């Protein structure tokens, strides 16, 4: 007899299926591939394909614009991935950036002691083979390598586990060379590396990933005010990015969850298909980092307020978002399978914000003959300067629309016989599937306006 499933089990199965469908869409359409796939792949490493790199770049550009261009109190930098090894002693990462791990004496598998099922934690037996586990040992998450020709302790460096430290060590440089005055911020986007033991859920947690971090330097008496300000700003940013608000929430870190540098911390969590997970951290790091770098480097990192003549070590409010994790968030939020009643079938569609879509405008001739293909190509070339376009003349027009829906192209233009007569085309909208007739000269301004006014329904 068939087992009855509960509502909860059904929805869990649906979420797993949705995740599988997203992974398969990413592979099929060239968003994300397993790394080194022809050699069987490399655990937890992923490559961004032609559409994936466009999506990732657009998320980064959106963040950069919001955090730097649209403000007058934040500047950017791009620091090196490998830094002086003393940086990581000063930051506390050498000492504290560890996970408690246990090894199975039989099958040699390694587990996070704090993330194992409770019964295994109690019995001390392996969840994989039932073998005996070692006592937990602290395992540092930083990757080590050697700089230069000699592999000795003196040449050992780390791959940065967060981009933030590159900002702290450049604090003085930025203050001295830019016109910044506290309160001000420094933003950076770049790769970070952590030797994570538990890597699962596609690109959610990987050993190599990208962060978008901003460190905001404030007077110590104003830390709480700016912490609240940045919590609000960062949540508003996700709404602007087109993410549905009911999929986002704050979660405050309890005293035992706080990182070694933090006085207060909130995560912004997103409801991924596999549950609520951290997307971004907002931290009050106090003057921990600057005081430690000052102590370890012997350099004065205080700030002089030229008006009050007060000299002090600023506090830092940090906003730290995952870029690669944001790609998964955007895809999860955008992915949908919709029944199209008029056509009696189901379409896969990505409801991406038009500013993020890898292709903004698809251009199709209704048929290839009678000069329509040439005309469509001419129109498509005329749009390239303003939008990312894709020309497609193959197959039935309905199929071409569906292929663009699946990659999230918000607008499609079809050139038909009427175009030859009155220079008008059909503009079709991805979300509503509505079509309007519009003159070719109005296309650019109309699409620009549609992107500006976009609201997800
Ligand atoms: N500078 C502070 C910092 O690094 P974090 O909470 O460890 O804080 C910030 O990381 C963000 O970086 C996370 O919210 C997440 O989006 C992203 N992140 C961290 N580890 C990651 C990993 N292994 N894979 C993908 N993204 C990761």
**Span 54-98, pLDDT tens digits:** 999 999 999 999 999 999 999 999 999 999 999 999 999 999 999
Measured CA to CA, the distance from residue 325 to residue 206 in angstroms comes to 9
CATH no., domain 359-452 = 3.40.50.800
Which residue's entry shows tokens 């901003």?
214
Averaged pLDDT of the chain:
94
Distance 363 CA to ligand 1 centre (A): 39
> Which atom of ligand 1 is found nearest the CA of 213?
1
Tell me, using a 6 A CB cutoff, whether residue 322 lines ligand 1: yes
Distance 87 CA to ligand 1 centre (A): 19
Distance 322 CA to ligand 1 centre (A): 6
Indicate the pLDDT class of residue 3, thresholds 50, 70 and 90: very low
Topology (CATH) of 21-84+161-330: BirA Bifunctional Protein; domain 2 (3.30.930)
Neighbour count for residue 275 (Cβ, 10 Å):
11
Tell me, using a 6 A CB cutoff, whether residue 164 lines ligand 1: yes
Q: Are strands 156-158 and 144-146 parallel, antiparallel or unpaired?
A: antiparallel
User: Nearest C-alpha to atom 14 of ligand 1 is from which residue?
Assistant: 280
Distance 321 CA to ligand 1 centre (A): 7
- Could you give the angle at the alpha carbon of 177 between the alpha carbons of 171 and 180, nearest 5°? 70
Taking a C-beta distance cutoff of 8 angstroms, is the pair 415, 368 a contact?
no
Measured CA to CA, the distance from residue 425 to residue 300 in angstroms comes to 65
Taking a C-beta distance cutoff of 8 angstroms, is the pair 320, 160 a contact?
no
Q: Which helix or strand (DSSP H or E) is residue 222 part of?
A: none
For the whole model, what pTM was predicted? 0.94
Tell me, using a 6 A CB cutoff, whether residue 166 lines ligand 1: no
Measured CA to CA, the distance from residue 372 to residue 419 in angstroms comes to 9
The residue length of the chain stands at: 457
Q: What is the pLDDT of residue 369?
A: 95
Tell me, using a 6 A CB cutoff, whether residue 289 lines ligand 1: no
Measured CA to CA, the distance from residue 151 to residue 337 in angstroms comes to 54
Domain boundaries, the chain: 21-84+161-330, 359-452
CB-count exposure of residue 191 (10 Å: 0-12, 13-18, 19+)? middle
Neighbouring residues of 312: CB distance < 8 A, sequence distance ≥ 6: 219, 220, 302, 303, 305
Is the confidence at residue 35, as pLDDT, over 50? yes
Q: pLDDT per residue over 227-273, tens digit each?
A: 999 999 999 999 999 999 999 999 999 988 888 889 999 999 999 99
Measured CA to CA, the distance from residue 328 to residue 387 in angstroms comes to 24
> Which atom of ligand 1 is found nearest the CA of 267?
14
Q: What is the DSSP letter of 249?
A: E
Distance 260 CA to ligand 1 centre (A): 15
Q: Which residue has the higher pLDDT, 438 or 13?
A: 438
Q: What is the DSSP letter of 450?
A: H
> Which atom of ligand 1 is found nearest the CA of 163?
1
Distance 353 CA to ligand 1 centre (A): 24
Residue among 250, 222, 253, 223 at smallest CA distance from 236? 250
């Amino acid at each position: 007899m068939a087992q009855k499933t509960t509502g909860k089990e059904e929805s869990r199965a649906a979420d797993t299926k949705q995740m599988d469908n997203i992974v398969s869409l990413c592979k099929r359409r060239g968003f994300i591939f397993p790394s080194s796939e022809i050699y069987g792949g490399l655990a937890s490493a992923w490559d961004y394909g032609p559409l994936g790199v466009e999506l990732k770049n657009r998320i980064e550009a959106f963040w950069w614009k919001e955090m730097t261009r649209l403000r007058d109190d934040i500047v950017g930098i791009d620091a090196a991935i490998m830094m002086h090894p003393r940086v990581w002693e000063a930051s506390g990462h050498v000492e504290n950036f560890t996970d408690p791990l246990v090894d199975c004496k039989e099958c040699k598998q390694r587990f996070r002691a704090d993330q194992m099922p409770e019964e295994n934690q109690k019995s001390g037996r392996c969840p994989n083979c039932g073998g005996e586990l070692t006592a937990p040992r602290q395992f540092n998450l930083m990757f080590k390598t050697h700089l230069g020709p000699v592999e000795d302790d003196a040449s050992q460096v780390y791959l940065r586990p967060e981009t933030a430290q590159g900002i702290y060590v450049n604090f003085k440089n930025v203050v001295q060379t830019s016109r910044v005055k506290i309160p001000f911020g420094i933003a950076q986007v770049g790769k970070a590396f952590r030797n994570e033991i538990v890597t699962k859920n596609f690109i959610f947690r990987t050993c190599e990933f990208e962060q978008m971090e901003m460190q905001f330097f404030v007077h110590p008496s104003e830390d709480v005010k700016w912490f609240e300000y940045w919590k609000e700003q960062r949540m508003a940013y996700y709404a602007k990015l087109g993410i549905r608000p009911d999929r986002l929430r704050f979660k405050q870190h309890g005293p035992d969850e706080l990182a070694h540098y933090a006085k207060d911390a909130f995560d912004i969590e997103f409801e991924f298909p596999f549950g609520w997970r951290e997307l971004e951290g907002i931290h009050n790091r106090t003057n921990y980092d600057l005081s430690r770098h000052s102590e370890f480097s012997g350099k004065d990192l205080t700030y002089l307020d030229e008006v009050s003549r007060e000299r002090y070590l600023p506090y830092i409010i940090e906003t730290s978002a995952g870029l690669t994790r944001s790609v998964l968030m955007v895809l999860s939020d955008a992915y949908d399978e919709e029944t199209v009643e008029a056509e009696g079938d189901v379409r896969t569609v990505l409801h991406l914000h038009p500013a993020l879509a890898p292709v903004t405008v698809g251009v199709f001739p209704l048929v290839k003959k009678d000069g329509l293909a040439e005309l469509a190509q001419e129109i498509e070339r005329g749009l390239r300067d303003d939008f990312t376009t894709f020309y497609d003349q193959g197959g039935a027009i309905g199929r071409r629309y569906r292929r663009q829906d699946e990659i999230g192209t918000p607008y499609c233009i079809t050139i038909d016989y009427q175009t030859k007569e009155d220079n008008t085309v059909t503009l079709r909208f991805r979300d509503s599937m509505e079509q309007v007739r519009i003159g070719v000269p109005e296309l650019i301004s109309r699409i620009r306006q549609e992107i500006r006014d976009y609201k997800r329904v």
